[in-house]
Amino acid sequence: MAPASRLLALWALAAVALPGSGAEGDGGWRPGGPGAVAEEERCTVERRADLTYAEFVQQYAFVRPVILQGLTDNSRFRALCSRDRLLASFGDRVVRLSTANTYSYHKVDLPFQEYVEQLLHPQDPTSLGNDTLYFFGDNNFTEWASLFRHYSPPPFGLLGTAPAYSFGIAGAGSGVPFHWHGPGYSEVIYGRKRWFLYPPEKTPEFHPNKTTLAWLRDTYPALPPSARPLECTIRAGEVLYFPDRWWHATLNLDTSVFISTFLG
Ligand SMILES: *[C@@H]1O[C@H](CO)[C@@H](O)[C@H](O)[C@H]1NC(C)=O
Ligand SMILES: *[C@@H]1O[C@H](CO)[C@@H](O)[C@H](O)[C@H]1NC(C)=O
Ligand SMILES: *[C@@H]1O[C@H](CO)[C@@H](O)[C@H](O)[C@H]1NC(C)=O
Protein backbone atom coordinates (compact mmCIF):
# COMPACT_ATOMS: atom_id res chain seq x y z
CA MET A 1 0.00 0.00 0.00
CA ALA A 2 1.28 3.49 -0.82
CA PRO A 3 1.81 5.66 2.28
CA ALA A 4 -1.07 7.98 1.40
CA SER A 5 -3.65 5.23 0.99
CA ARG A 6 -2.33 3.44 4.10
CA LEU A 7 -2.92 6.64 6.05
CA LEU A 8 -6.41 6.89 4.61
CA ALA A 9 -7.17 3.28 5.61
CA LEU A 10 -5.90 3.96 9.15
CA TRP A 11 -8.01 7.08 9.37
CA ALA A 12 -11.12 5.18 8.22
CA LEU A 13 -10.41 2.48 10.80
CA ALA A 14 -10.04 5.05 13.58
CA ALA A 15 -13.25 6.80 12.57
CA VAL A 16 -15.16 3.55 12.90
CA ALA A 17 -13.56 2.51 16.18
CA LEU A 18 -13.74 5.80 18.09
CA PRO A 19 -16.43 5.58 20.78
CA GLY A 20 -18.25 8.51 22.32
CA SER A 21 -19.34 10.21 19.15
CA GLY A 22 -22.07 9.75 16.58
CA ALA A 23 -23.89 6.47 16.25
CA GLU A 24 -21.16 4.54 18.09
CA GLY A 25 -21.47 6.32 21.43
CA ASP A 26 -25.19 7.00 21.63
CA GLY A 27 -26.43 3.77 20.05
CA GLY A 28 -28.17 5.81 17.37
CA TRP A 29 -30.36 7.51 20.00
CA ARG A 30 -29.81 11.20 19.39
CA PRO A 31 -28.32 13.33 22.16
CA GLY A 32 -30.12 16.36 23.61
CA GLY A 33 -31.46 18.94 21.17
CA PRO A 34 -30.46 22.61 20.90
CA GLY A 35 -32.42 23.52 24.05
CA ALA A 36 -30.77 20.73 26.02
CA VAL A 37 -30.88 20.99 29.81
CA ALA A 38 -27.61 21.35 31.68
CA GLU A 39 -26.16 19.11 34.33
CA GLU A 40 -26.13 20.31 37.95
CA GLU A 41 -23.37 22.67 39.06
CA ARG A 42 -22.29 20.27 41.78
CA CYS A 43 -23.19 16.60 42.20
CA THR A 44 -24.17 16.00 45.85
CA VAL A 45 -24.65 12.22 45.68
CA GLU A 46 -21.55 10.17 46.51
CA ARG A 47 -19.95 8.11 43.73
CA ARG A 48 -18.32 4.85 44.83
CA ALA A 49 -16.28 2.56 42.60
CA ASP A 50 -14.94 0.16 45.22
CA LEU A 51 -17.86 -0.53 47.52
CA THR A 52 -18.18 -3.88 49.32
CA TYR A 53 -21.58 -5.35 50.16
CA ALA A 54 -20.95 -4.78 53.89
CA GLU A 55 -20.15 -1.10 53.27
CA PHE A 56 -23.23 -0.73 51.07
CA VAL A 57 -25.49 -2.13 53.80
CA GLN A 58 -23.87 -0.16 56.62
CA GLN A 59 -23.40 3.22 54.94
CA TYR A 60 -26.16 3.51 52.31
CA ALA A 61 -28.88 0.87 52.01
CA PHE A 62 -31.17 2.39 54.68
CA VAL A 63 -29.65 5.86 54.94
CA ARG A 64 -28.84 7.68 51.70
CA PRO A 65 -28.53 7.31 47.94
CA VAL A 66 -25.24 6.40 46.28
CA ILE A 67 -23.97 6.08 42.72
CA LEU A 68 -22.21 2.79 42.05
CA GLN A 69 -19.59 2.53 39.36
CA GLY A 70 -18.00 -0.52 37.79
CA LEU A 71 -20.16 -3.09 39.62
CA THR A 72 -21.34 -4.87 36.48
CA ASP A 73 -20.42 -4.87 32.82
CA ASN A 74 -23.51 -4.40 30.68
CA SER A 75 -21.72 -3.69 27.40
CA ARG A 76 -23.41 -6.66 25.69
CA PHE A 77 -26.84 -5.49 26.89
CA ARG A 78 -25.95 -1.95 25.76
CA ALA A 79 -25.09 -3.16 22.25
CA LEU A 80 -28.47 -4.91 22.06
CA CYS A 81 -30.18 -1.63 23.06
CA SER A 82 -28.99 0.39 20.06
CA ARG A 83 -31.84 2.00 18.14
CA ASP A 84 -31.36 -0.27 15.12
CA ARG A 85 -31.14 -3.49 17.14
CA LEU A 86 -34.20 -2.74 19.27
CA LEU A 87 -36.29 -1.71 16.26
CA ALA A 88 -35.24 -4.84 14.35
CA SER A 89 -36.08 -7.15 17.28
CA PHE A 90 -39.10 -5.46 18.85
CA GLY A 91 -40.40 -2.85 16.39
CA ASP A 92 -43.77 -4.57 15.93
CA ARG A 93 -44.29 -5.39 19.63
CA VAL A 94 -46.91 -3.41 21.49
CA VAL A 95 -45.54 -1.45 24.44
CA ARG A 96 -47.55 0.14 27.25
CA LEU A 97 -46.89 3.84 27.81
CA SER A 98 -47.67 5.75 31.02
CA THR A 99 -48.27 9.43 31.51
CA ALA A 100 -45.28 11.26 33.02
CA ASN A 101 -46.94 12.60 36.18
CA THR A 102 -46.63 11.62 39.84
CA TYR A 103 -49.75 9.48 40.08
CA SER A 104 -49.85 7.90 36.64
CA TYR A 105 -52.84 5.67 35.94
CA HIS A 106 -53.52 6.49 32.31
CA LYS A 107 -51.91 3.93 29.95
CA VAL A 108 -51.66 3.82 26.15
CA ASP A 109 -50.67 0.76 24.08
CA LEU A 110 -48.66 1.38 20.91
CA PRO A 111 -46.28 -0.58 18.66
CA PHE A 112 -42.70 0.07 19.80
CA GLN A 113 -41.68 1.36 16.35
CA GLU A 114 -44.46 3.96 16.41
CA TYR A 115 -43.35 5.13 19.84
CA VAL A 116 -39.72 5.50 18.70
CA GLU A 117 -40.52 7.22 15.40
CA GLN A 118 -43.40 9.46 16.47
CA LEU A 119 -43.36 10.08 20.22
CA LEU A 120 -39.70 9.91 21.19
CA HIS A 121 -38.94 13.59 20.77
CA PRO A 122 -37.57 16.20 23.17
CA GLN A 123 -40.02 17.22 25.91
CA ASP A 124 -42.18 20.23 25.04
CA PRO A 125 -41.49 22.63 27.95
CA THR A 126 -45.07 23.91 27.85
CA SER A 127 -46.71 20.46 28.11
CA LEU A 128 -48.07 18.98 31.32
CA GLY A 129 -46.74 15.68 32.68
CA ASN A 130 -50.20 14.13 32.63
CA ASP A 131 -50.35 14.91 28.88
CA THR A 132 -46.92 13.40 28.12
CA LEU A 133 -46.49 9.71 27.25
CA TYR A 134 -43.43 7.97 28.64
CA PHE A 135 -42.13 4.44 27.98
CA PHE A 136 -41.00 3.05 31.31
CA GLY A 137 -42.11 -0.08 33.12
CA ASP A 138 -45.16 -2.21 32.28
CA ASN A 139 -42.77 -4.34 30.22
CA ASN A 140 -43.81 -7.69 28.81
CA PHE A 141 -40.98 -9.90 30.06
CA THR A 142 -42.16 -12.83 27.95
CA GLU A 143 -41.85 -10.94 24.69
CA TRP A 144 -38.66 -9.12 25.67
CA ALA A 145 -36.96 -12.08 27.41
CA SER A 146 -34.27 -12.36 24.71
CA LEU A 147 -33.12 -8.85 25.68
CA PHE A 148 -33.50 -8.87 29.47
CA ARG A 149 -31.59 -12.11 29.97
CA HIS A 150 -28.48 -10.15 28.95
CA TYR A 151 -28.90 -7.55 31.70
CA SER A 152 -26.74 -7.97 34.81
CA PRO A 153 -28.47 -6.20 37.72
CA PRO A 154 -26.51 -4.63 40.58
CA PRO A 155 -25.42 -7.59 42.73
CA PHE A 156 -26.29 -6.05 46.13
CA GLY A 157 -29.66 -7.40 47.28
CA LEU A 158 -31.66 -6.52 50.38
CA LEU A 159 -32.98 -9.14 52.78
CA GLY A 160 -36.60 -10.07 52.13
CA THR A 161 -36.83 -8.33 48.76
CA ALA A 162 -37.08 -9.72 45.22
CA PRO A 163 -35.75 -7.72 42.25
CA ALA A 164 -38.11 -6.60 39.45
CA TYR A 165 -37.02 -4.77 36.29
CA SER A 166 -38.52 -1.71 34.64
CA PHE A 167 -37.07 -0.79 31.26
CA GLY A 168 -37.61 2.46 29.42
CA ILE A 169 -36.60 4.86 26.66
CA ALA A 170 -37.48 8.55 26.73
CA GLY A 171 -36.70 11.82 24.99
CA ALA A 172 -34.41 14.64 26.06
CA GLY A 173 -36.03 16.81 28.73
CA SER A 174 -38.52 14.13 29.73
CA GLY A 175 -38.74 12.64 33.20
CA VAL A 176 -41.00 11.72 36.07
CA PRO A 177 -41.87 14.35 38.70
CA PHE A 178 -41.41 13.72 42.44
CA HIS A 179 -42.73 10.43 43.80
CA TRP A 180 -41.55 7.66 46.12
CA HIS A 181 -41.76 3.89 46.49
CA GLY A 182 -39.59 1.03 47.74
CA PRO A 183 -35.79 0.87 47.38
CA GLY A 184 -34.02 0.09 44.14
CA TYR A 185 -31.48 0.88 41.48
CA SER A 186 -31.57 2.80 38.21
CA GLU A 187 -28.95 2.26 35.54
CA VAL A 188 -28.42 4.39 32.44
CA ILE A 189 -27.68 2.36 29.30
CA TYR A 190 -27.50 5.27 26.83
CA GLY A 191 -27.72 9.00 27.49
CA ARG A 192 -27.72 10.85 30.83
CA LYS A 193 -30.29 11.07 33.61
CA ARG A 194 -30.32 13.86 36.18
CA TRP A 195 -31.71 12.93 39.60
CA PHE A 196 -33.23 15.04 42.39
CA LEU A 197 -33.73 13.32 45.77
CA TYR A 198 -35.15 14.19 49.21
CA PRO A 199 -35.30 12.01 52.34
CA PRO A 200 -38.76 10.65 53.28
CA GLU A 201 -39.37 13.30 55.96
CA LYS A 202 -38.63 16.23 53.60
CA THR A 203 -41.62 16.38 51.24
CA PRO A 204 -40.64 18.64 48.33
CA GLU A 205 -42.69 21.44 46.88
CA PHE A 206 -44.02 20.26 43.49
CA HIS A 207 -47.17 19.91 41.39
CA PRO A 208 -47.91 16.24 40.59
CA ASN A 209 -49.03 16.98 37.00
CA LYS A 210 -46.19 19.30 36.01
CA THR A 211 -43.04 17.95 34.36
CA THR A 212 -39.67 17.80 36.09
CA LEU A 213 -38.52 20.26 33.41
CA ALA A 214 -41.15 22.78 34.55
CA TRP A 215 -40.21 22.20 38.22
CA LEU A 216 -36.54 22.83 37.39
CA ARG A 217 -37.46 26.06 35.59
CA ASP A 218 -40.13 27.40 37.98
CA THR A 219 -39.46 26.06 41.48
CA TYR A 220 -35.84 24.97 41.77
CA PRO A 221 -34.15 28.39 41.22
CA ALA A 222 -35.94 29.93 44.22
CA LEU A 223 -35.07 27.14 46.67
CA PRO A 224 -32.90 28.30 49.58
CA PRO A 225 -29.78 26.17 50.08
CA SER A 226 -31.38 24.28 52.98
CA ALA A 227 -34.33 23.22 50.78
CA ARG A 228 -32.28 21.98 47.85
CA PRO A 229 -32.43 18.29 46.93
CA LEU A 230 -29.51 15.94 46.66
CA GLU A 231 -28.78 15.82 42.96
CA CYS A 232 -26.54 14.27 40.35
CA THR A 233 -26.46 13.28 36.69
CA ILE A 234 -25.64 9.67 35.96
CA ARG A 235 -24.33 8.43 32.65
CA ALA A 236 -24.04 5.13 30.81
CA GLY A 237 -22.68 2.40 33.05
CA GLU A 238 -23.50 4.17 36.33
CA VAL A 239 -26.14 2.91 38.74
CA LEU A 240 -27.98 5.08 41.25
CA TYR A 241 -29.31 3.42 44.41
CA PHE A 242 -32.33 5.05 46.13
CA PRO A 243 -33.39 3.91 49.62
CA ASP A 244 -36.94 3.07 50.67
CA ARG A 245 -39.46 5.95 50.49
CA TRP A 246 -36.96 8.58 49.33
CA TRP A 247 -38.64 11.23 47.16
CA HIS A 248 -37.12 11.45 43.69
CA ALA A 249 -37.67 13.19 40.37
CA THR A 250 -35.82 12.38 37.16
CA LEU A 251 -34.85 14.33 34.05
CA ASN A 252 -33.35 12.72 30.95
CA LEU A 253 -30.75 15.13 29.58
CA ASP A 254 -30.46 13.16 26.33
CA THR A 255 -32.65 10.62 24.60
CA SER A 256 -31.99 7.93 27.19
CA VAL A 257 -32.29 4.18 27.56
CA PHE A 258 -32.49 3.08 31.20
CA ILE A 259 -33.45 0.18 33.43
CA SER A 260 -34.46 0.08 37.06
CA THR A 261 -34.23 -2.85 39.43
CA PHE A 262 -36.87 -2.39 42.13
CA LEU A 263 -36.31 -4.24 45.38
CA GLY A 264 -39.92 -4.89 46.30
C1 LIG B 1 -53.67 17.51 33.50
O2 LIG B 1 -53.55 18.16 34.74
C3 LIG B 1 -54.07 19.49 34.73
C4 LIG B 1 -53.66 20.16 36.03
O5 LIG B 1 -53.68 19.29 37.11
C6 LIG B 1 -55.57 19.41 34.51
O7 LIG B 1 -56.12 20.71 34.52
C8 LIG B 1 -55.83 18.74 33.17
O9 LIG B 1 -57.21 18.55 32.96
C10 LIG B 1 -55.12 17.37 33.08
N11 LIG B 1 -55.19 16.85 31.72
C12 LIG B 1 -55.66 15.63 31.44
C13 LIG B 1 -55.58 15.18 30.02
O14 LIG B 1 -56.10 14.87 32.31
C1 LIG C 1 -53.68 15.49 37.61
O2 LIG C 1 -54.19 14.96 36.42
C3 LIG C 1 -55.12 13.91 36.62
C4 LIG C 1 -55.53 13.30 35.30
O5 LIG C 1 -54.65 13.61 34.27
C6 LIG C 1 -56.34 14.45 37.36
O7 LIG C 1 -57.27 13.41 37.59
C8 LIG C 1 -55.88 15.04 38.68
O9 LIG C 1 -56.96 15.65 39.34
C10 LIG C 1 -54.76 16.07 38.47
N11 LIG C 1 -54.21 16.46 39.77
C12 LIG C 1 -54.13 17.74 40.18
C13 LIG C 1 -53.56 17.97 41.54
O14 LIG C 1 -54.48 18.67 39.48
C1 LIG D 1 -47.02 -10.74 26.95
O2 LIG D 1 -46.79 -11.29 25.68
C3 LIG D 1 -47.32 -12.59 25.52
C4 LIG D 1 -46.82 -13.12 24.17
O5 LIG D 1 -47.10 -12.23 23.12
C6 LIG D 1 -48.84 -12.52 25.61
O7 LIG D 1 -49.40 -13.80 25.46
C8 LIG D 1 -49.20 -11.95 26.98
O9 LIG D 1 -50.60 -11.76 27.07
C10 LIG D 1 -48.51 -10.64 27.23
N11 LIG D 1 -48.71 -10.23 28.62
C12 LIG D 1 -49.26 -9.08 28.97
C13 LIG D 1 -49.40 -8.82 30.41
O14 LIG D 1 -49.59 -8.25 28.13
Return the pLDDT at 173.
Answer: 95
Residue 242 counted as domain residue: yes
Give nearest CA residue, ligand 1 atom 14.
Answer: 130
In a domain, residue 27? The reply is no
> Is 69 inside any structural domain?
yes
Q: Domain limits at 50? A: 44-263
Question: Residue 208: pLDDT above 60?
Answer: yes
Number of domains the chain is built from: 1
* Percent of all residues in the chain with a pLDDT value above 70, rounded to a whole number: 89
Q: Does the residue 11 lie in any domain?
A: no
Give CA 26 to chain center in angstroms. Answer: 13
Is the Cβ atom of 209 under 6 angstroms away from ligand 1?
yes
188 pLDDT above the threshold of 50: yes
For residue 2, pLDDT beyond 50: no
Residue whose Cα lies nearest atom 2 of ligand 1: it is 209
**How much is the pLDDT for 104?**
82
- On the question of pLDDT at 148 being above 80, the answer is yes
Mutation pick for ligand 1 pocket among 209, 210, 215 (CB with most ligand atoms within 8 Å): 209
pLDDT digits (tens, 9 = 90+) for 155-166: 999 988 899 999
> What CATH number has the domain bearing residue 230?
2.60.120.650
The reply to whether 225 falls in a domain is yes
State pTM to two decimals: 0.90
Query: Which percentage of the chain shows pLDDT scores above 90?
Result: 85
Relative to the CA of 207, which ligand 2 atom is closest? 13
- Which protein residues touch ligand 2 with a CB less than 6 Å away? 101, 130, 208-209
Query: 94 CA to middle of ligand 3, Å?
Result: 10
* pLDDT score of 32: 66
pLDDT in tens, 84-137: 999 999 999 999 999 999 998 899 999 999 999 999 999 999 999 999 999 999
**Could you tell me if residue 161 is inside a domain?**
yes
Contacts 24+ apart (CB under 8 A), 93-98: 93/140, 93/143, 93/144, 95/135, 95/138, 95/139, 95/140, 96/138, 97/133, 97/134, 97/135, 97/138, 98/133, 98/134, 98/136, 98/137, 98/138
